Amino acid sequence: MAIEHAILVSLLEQPGSGYELARRFERSIGYFWTATHQQIYRVLKRMENDGWVDVRAVVQQGRPDKKEYSVADLGRAALTSWLHDPIEPESVRHDLAVKIRGAAFDDPSALLREVERHRQAHADRLARYLAGEDRDFGGHTDGGSYGPEGAERELQHVVLRGGITYERMMIAWLDDVLATLHRFRAER
């Protein structure tokens, strides 16, 4: 099982609607898990049927009403049980690596541009992460915002540091790839 647990964690950190969850999956949680809104609504419905979450209709002004979900006891229990279950170390899926090995059988120039694009995308993500880190975990104690505190905050931070480390690694590796491709092209 999978996305259910990411949703449970997100709802424990902060109850919210499907729409809000979808937006969190574009940032924060999205650093290590992606999900479309269709998927989220579908899973939320199932979780509601299974009694994992409670729903509350929230009337809003100036925008459509929404359904706010929060974690029910059954959901909390399901999460705890999952947290105690060992999981397999993730298996990666790197299309780009396939392309790189495929470049041996093709003109490398197109790949060069592709790798540069990816490098840029990772540099952008890194910048976003660093901005987020400064905003949410920078030294300043923002009296106005009510973010999570203590352990919750520290654990969010260490996960974000993971994202930052990952992006830095990718950039370094893509530089290695670029250098290799340039060498390869020069040889022809």
Partner DNA sequence: TCTTGCTATGCACTTTGTTGCATAGGCAAG
Partner DNA sequence: CTTGCCTATGCAACAAAGTGCATAGCAAGA
Q: What residues make contact with a copy of itself under the rule CB under 8 A?
A: 2, 5-6, 8-9, 12-13, 29, 31-34, 76, 79-80, 82-84, 86-87, 89-106, 108, 110-111, 114, 117-118, 121-122, 125, 148, 150-152, 154-159, 161-162, 165-166, 169, 172-173, 176-177, 180, 183-184, 187
Give me 104's structure tokens: 């041996």
Please tell me the distance from the alpha carbon of residue 166 to that of residue 171, in angstroms, as a whole number: 9
Residue 77 site contact among DNA, a copy of itself, none (CB < 5 to 8 Å, cut-off depends on kind): none
Applying CB under 7 A, does 19 fall inside the site for DNA? yes
With respect to DNA, which residue has the nearer C-beta, 82 or 173? 82
With respect to DNA, which residue has the nearer C-beta, 63 or 101? 63
Determine whether 70 is exposed, middle or buried from the number of CB atoms within 10 Å of its CB (0-12, 13-18, 19+). Answer: middle
One-character DSSP codes across 93-109: --HHHHHHHHGGGS-HH
Using CB under 7 A, count the residues that bind DNA. 27
What part of residues 80-119 is at the interface with DNA (CB under 7 A)? 91
Choose among 90, 105, 82, 118: nearest CA to 8: 82
Residue 63 site contact among a copy of itself, DNA, none (CB < 5 to 8 Å, cut-off depends on kind): DNA
What part of residues 54-83 is at the interface with DNA (CB under 7 A)? 60-67
Please tell me the distance from the alpha carbon of residue 147 to that of residue 82, in angstroms, as a whole number: 26
Say whether 27 sits in a helix, a strand or coil: coil
Q: Are 69 and 16 in contact (CB under 8 A)?
A: yes
- Residue 62: Cβ within 10 Å count: 4
Residues in contact with DNA by the rule CB under 7 A:
1-3, 17-20, 22, 34-39, 41-42, 44-45, 60-67, 91
